[in-house]
Amino acid sequence: MITVGHLLEKKNNKMFTISADATVQDALEIMATEKISSLPVMNDNDELIGIISERDYIRKAVPEKKIPWEITVNDYMTKDVITVTSQDYLQECMKIMSGNRIRHLPVVEDGKILGILSITDVVRALRSVRFID
């Protein structure tokens, strides 16, 4: 069984974050430039306080006709973030993601964010193991 830690070792360690007081436009620009679909939201002490995704903007702000450069990340981020640790197994991550209908899981230990897993990361890793076994 593969742990989150094993997957993080193989992943690109470059992680992008944003602050809650940044504009949603800032967040969308980072996501577009870096070809990612979510950003962990950090406070001044580098603690995870939320996550914002493209879907958050599309599902929450667009129906309200909110302009992304006039709203903050804090207004539209998900504040109750589900996280995992490096010791968790990928099978459990898949259950968490599908059960909660989420696509990203921050990996946090001792209050520090180590990385973020996407549903694609988890599916690819589980698929490769399935074909090897």
Most confident of the ranges 7-16, 19-28, 123-132:
19-28
Spell out the residues 6+ positions from residue 75 whose beta carbon is closer than 8 angstroms to its own: 24, 61
Q: Is the pLDDT of residue 20 over 70?
A: yes
CA atoms within 13 A on the CB side of 120: 4
Return the residue matching tokens 């993601």.
Answer: 97
CA distance 132 to 31: 33
What tens digit of pLDDT does each residue of 108-118 get?
999 899 999 99
- How much is the pLDDT for 132? 46
Tokens linked to 19: 């602050």
Q: pLDDT class for 12, splitting at 50, 70, 90?
A: confident
Block residue for tokens 């990996």:
107
CATH of domain 4-132: 3.10.580.10
User: What is the pLDDT, as a whole number, of residue 11?
Assistant: 82
pLDDT at 126: 85
pLDDT one-digit tens code per residue, 45-85: 999 999 999 999 999 999 999 999 999 999 999 999 999 99
